[in-house]
A and B are shown apart, each in its own frame.
Chain A
């Protein structure tokens, strides 16, 4: 069973702090890794994707991948109340690109 696991949260951070979201996956054959943000009642929207070990930065967001540890994370710097949402980790096992999602981590950024 291929699995993707996330802490469900909620994760609460003060405005301006760094939010750290973590995800582990079970299949070492995983190729592609994605972070989606989902506001309540809305569909997921892509935040970041990462394919290679190391860090990838895009504005306030940094994705980190460690394939040896089967671990992917998302850091959000200078967190804003508008970042409050559920963050979904998704993994593609390169089988046509279907995504296996974690349960999501609810993030709450307090003003």
Chain B
């Protein structure tokens, strides 16, 4: 079946602009995660959605970052007033219910803030 998809695959923006990154999880997966990976760094957890529960926003680096998940499926990560340090690969992952289920990653969105 189809895997996790993300769009756009690449995004170049100017400092101060807002950007929206989209994630389509695997059909039927109830949990959705956003991570980011800066050049040469490991993955950093950003935010997590599970069903209808309140999202875990504990990894968001500042209030310029927000995310929503509509209808329990598609998610959008929004970065307002982008800064150069926001340049990174933003990865989305989804998994079926249960803490021991495997997370499957999408291809990522490469964001470059000039």
Contacts and interface: CB of A to CB of B under 8 A. Distances in A.
Interface of A: 31-32, 34, 42-46, 49, 51, 88, 90, 92, 94-104
Given A32-B100, A51-B100, A96-B99, A102 B50 contact: no
Contacts, number: 63
Contacts of B42: 88, 101-104
B99 A94 contact: yes
Interface of B: 31, 33, 35, 41-45, 48, 50, 56, 59, 91, 95, 98-108
Given A32-B100, A46-B102, A104-B42, A98 B56 contact: yes
From B42, B99, B107, residue with most partner A Cβ within 10 Å: B42
Given A32-B99, A94-B99, A96-B31, A44 B105 contact: yes
A97 B45 contact: no
**A-B pairs, 5 with minimum CB distance:** A101-B43, A103-B42, A43-B105, A97-B99, A101-B42
Given A44-B43, A103-B42, A97 B103 contact: yes
Contact of A96 (B44, B48, B91, B105): B48
